[in-house]
Structures are given as structure tokens and as C-alpha cells.
Amino acid sequence: MTITFPHMGQVYIPVKALFDDLGVPVVVPPPVSNKTLEIGTRIAPEMACLPMKINLGNYIQSMEKGADTIVLTGSCGPCRFGYYGIVEQEILRDQGYHAEIIILDAPGRDPRDLLRKIRKISGNSPWKNIIRAFIQASKIVEQTDKLQGIFLRKRPRELNKGQTDDLQSRFEKQILQCRGSKEVMRLIRSFQVKADGIPERADANPLRIGLVGEIYTLIEPYVNLNIEYKLGYLGAEVHRGITIADWVKTHLSMDRKYKKQRKEKLKKGANYLNLCIGGHAWETIASTVDYADAGMDGVIQILPFGCMPEIVAESIIPSISRNRSLPVMTLTVDELTGEAGYLTRLEAFVDLLSQKKGTVYE
Ligand code: SF4
């Protein structure tokens, strides 16, 4: 059994460490590229969500490198994500790929099914090893997010242009050489120290922009056309409305403190939306209100074309923007999104925020 999984930003770091710790061979899908999207677009239904098309491309690229088992998380929520796994399986079979697909659904009525699947993908390791590996992976998720947070803070403040990007790309190359959670954790911590040490301009006073929207689009730089880099270089400090650590803590952990904080944050948006309508639309609304409370200069909502929950959120956001005098821009991405037009919209938005704040961006 050689496992692979969908690519989503830096999720591959904890997932690879998890399987390394369990001694299960794993193929990390190649970074998402035009080729990945081309494969997915060719075999997926035209109106399928963009993340699904990319995931199909990921699986085929990984199978070409020897993977024979695909692990993905499932859902029974109100949006199309609920039937992703099954549809992907059918599409791959139609295309002549016969990898085994293991869908990890939330425990629901029969937690034994989930436990059986976890045991299977762990190569039948003893439970104590499985639990240890999962705990280590969740620590890696948290520390990876922390490192990303440092990069996001440093980029608009760095004294020597490009230093943050250099460090980030060195990290991304070296992390792939690490084996197991201990090595991974050591490398992350060493890069946290290096990133913290990046010298800052004394006069730096960046705009603060919150990113909200569909989780895959927020986290995967290929899909969002590297929005964090672009905004960073336009002089904005980016805050992510949802991170991988949030997803893990919401769905897989018993962290009561986090769950209480999340509940309180969701309550903030209750006047606008007070229930889960699929995807992360509820979080999108609550985070937008939360960013208004935090005095952010602006918010950008980003969603894949046709994403049903985010389209509902998009229709609610103008009310928040009006009531809270918060500039908000929505960006919809699909396989045809052009980089030049996208960058122009970001520049115009940053320009507007700079004028509102009375600062000038270079
Ligand atoms: S959240 Fe949006 S993009 Fe994701 S599966 Fe649901 S409809 Fe598709």
C-alpha cells in the first residue's frame, strides 16, 4: 500500500510526517501546477468545483509516481463536498484508474467504520503508535501555521525586499527531505527562529487585510494566484480567516478552549447568518464581522467559481460592509482566471485602502 492524498497548501507537511511515523509509504502529490489542473479539467464534469478538478489531477500525478491508495476526508454537509469522494472514485474508475479510495467520514452513527479505516491506512499499526503519530501531526499543523504567520507578518515589513520569500522557498525545499515528525518539527522550529530574525523597516506601517472564503481557495497558493505574496508586496499584512489548524481543531480535536472561542466568533455573525450552509460560509460571515471588530483596513473574500455556500456569503457581505464601514472585495477564481486582471484588482483595492488610511503604498 502506497498512500497519496489531495494537495492543499502545506497540508502535505503534517500528513507526510504522520505516515512516515507509521512506517507507511506515502507519495506527496507534486505541487499544483497548470498540468494538474489540465488533467482534472479534462476528466471532471465542467461544472464541478475547482478544488475537485485539482484533486483529481493530484491523484493521477501521484499514481504515476506509484501511489495505489488515496486517502481523503469526507463530509455529509449541505454542499457538493458531501459527494466528492464517491464522484472522484467513479471518475477515476471510468478513466481506468483502480486505486483504492479510502474516505474518512466524520464518526456519525458508526465510529467503528472510521476506526477501521484509520487502522487500515496506518498499516495495522498498534493504536498507541497511531495515537502518538496523530498527536505529533497535529503539533506540526500548529507549528506550520505559526511559521506561515511569521512570513505573513514579515513580508510587508522586511528591510531587504525578497528575504521572506527566499526563506520560505528554502523551507519548502528542505521540508520535503525530512523524514518523520521529529525531523520535521526540528526544521520548522529552526525556520521560525530565522524568520523571526528577518530585519524590519523602522517606518513600516502596513495595511491589515483579512482573507475570508472557501478553505481550499484560501490555503492553496496555486488556486488563489499567490494572493498572500501579492498583498504582502503591495504593503499589506494578511490575516487568514481560516487555517489548517482551525480545520483540525474544529473537526478532529477535543480542544475545548478553541471550540468555545470558535462558538463566540460564530455568534458575532449571527445577525447575518446563524447556521451552517455548507463549506465555510458561516465562518466567512463571522470572520468578516470579527475583522471589522479588530479594526482591519479591509477584507477580501475569495471563492471558486460556482461555490454555492460562498455565493450566499457574497450576497450577505455588502450589508456587513455598509453597516461597519469596512471595504470588502470579492474575488472569484476558476481555471480561466488571468493573472494580470487579478493583480490589477488587488492593486486597486490596496490603493483604495491606503487612501482611506492616509498611507501610501510603494
Ligand atoms: S465549499 Fe464550495 S468549492 Fe467546496 S465543495 Fe462546497 S461548493 Fe464546492
Q: Which atom of ligand 1 is found nearest the CA of 217?
A: 3
Report pLDDT for 361: 53
pTM: 0.93
CA 307 to centroid of ligand 1, rounded, Å: 5
Find out whether 304 and 54 touch, Cβ atoms under 8 Å.
no
Cβ distance 286 to 315 under 8 Å? no
> 237: closest CA among 249, 245, 229?
229
Give the residue from 239, 233, 236, 234 showing the smallest Cα distance to 161.
Answer: 233
Flag residues of the chain having pLDDT under 50: none
List the grid coordinates of 334.
476558476
| One-letter amino acid of 141 | V
Number of Cβ atoms within 10 Å of the Cβ of 182? 13
Counting ligand 1 atoms within 8 A of each CB, the residue from 52, 214, 301, 312 with the most, and so the one to mutate, is: 214
Cell of 6: 489531495
Instruction: Measure 280 CA to ligand 1 centroid, in angstroms.
Output: 9
Phi and psi angles of residue 70, each rounded to the nearest 5 degrees, phi first: -110, 125
Q: What's the gap in Å between 82 CA and the centre of ligand 1?
A: 9
Sign of CA dihedral 260, 140, 333, 103: negative
In the reported structure, the alpha carbon of residue 306 is separated from the centroid of ligand 1 by a whole-number distance in angstroms of 8
Q: Give the three-class secondary structure for 302.
A: strand
Helix (H, G, I), strand (E, B) or coil at 9: coil
Closest C-alpha to ligand 1, atom 5: 81
Question: From CA 173, how far away is CA 154, in angstroms rounded?
Answer: 20
Q: CA-CA distance, 285 to 275, in Å (whole number)?
A: 11
Residue 85 pLDDT? 84
Assess contact for 245 and 145: CB atoms under 8 A: yes
pLDDT of residue 253: 75
Pocket-testing residue among 79, 83, 218, 224, ligand 1, by greatest number of atoms within 8 A of Cβ: 79
197 alpha carbon – ligand 1 mean position (Å): 38
Burial class (CB in 10 A: 0-12, 13-18, 19+), 188: buried
The grid cell for 223 is: 488556486
Distance CA(3)–CA(355), nearest Å, equals 50
Pocket test for ligand 1, best of 308, 330, 333, 335 (most atoms within 8 A of CB): 308
Ligand 1 pocket test: pick from 46, 75, 81, 305 the residue with the most ligand atoms within 8 Å of its Cβ: 81
Atom of ligand 1 lying closest to residue 279 CA: 1
Give residue 75's pLDDT: 63
- How far apart are the CA of 259 and the centre of ligand 1, in A? 23
Q: What cell does 98 get?
A: 483502480
Render 243-275 in DSSP notation, one character per residue.
-HHHHHHHHT---HHHHHHHHHHHHHTTTT--S
**pLDDT value of residue 103:** 87
Closest-lying ligand 1 atom to the alpha carbon of residue 79: 6
pLDDT tens digits for range 1-53: 999 999 999 999 999 999 999 999 999 999 999 999 999 999 999 889 999 99
Cα of 324 from ligand 1 centre, angstroms: 28
Protein residue with least CA distance to atom 1, ligand 1: 279
Provide φ and ψ at 252, rounded to 5°: -120, -10
Distance 174 CA to ligand 1 centre (A): 32
Q: What's the confidence (pLDDT) of residue 336?
A: 86
Q: In this structure, how many other beta carbons lie within 10 angstroms of the beta carbon of residue 327?
A: 15
Give me ligand 1 centre to Cα 79, in Å. Answer: 6
Ligand 1 site residues (CB inside 6 A) read 49, 51, 79-81, 214, 278-279, 304, 307-310
pLDDT value of position 318: 97
Contact 156, 239 (CB under 8 A): no
pLDDT digits (tens, 9 = 90+) for 187-198: 999 999 999 999
Strand partners, 240: 211
The 10 Å Cβ neighbour count of residue 56 is 27
- The protein residue with its alpha carbon nearest to ligand 1, atom 3, reads 307
Domains and CATH numbers, the chain: 1-154+157-201 (no CATH), 206-357 (3.40.50.11900)
